[in-house]
Amino acid sequence: MTEITLLILVSILLIVCFVVVHLYDKKLVKSIAEHERRLEEKGILKRHFSKPISK
């Protein structure tokens, strides 16, 4: 295996890894947003995570 071939294979592997991580991150963010929306509909998120601002 030549040096150029090895560099190309490693580069392709890194690019594929970044694409997979990016797609999985988008999936996680979407599911978290959906979960938070359901919690807000139930009133749970507001009650536990939003504190009134008092000065």
Condensed to tens digits (0 to 9), the pLDDT of residues 3-38 reads: 999 999 999 999 999 999 999 999 999 999 999 888
Residue 42 to residues 29, 30, 31, 35, 38, Cα–Cα distance (Å): 20, 19, 17, 11, 6
**Rounded to an integer, what distance in angstroms lies between the CA atom of residue 27 and that of residue 35?**
12
Q: Would you say the pTM of this structure is higher than 0.75?
A: no
Q: What tokens were used for 8? A: 């190309």
pLDDT per position as a tens digit, 41-55: 887 766 555 555 555
Q: Residue length, the chain?
A: 55
Tokens, residue 20 = 């997979």
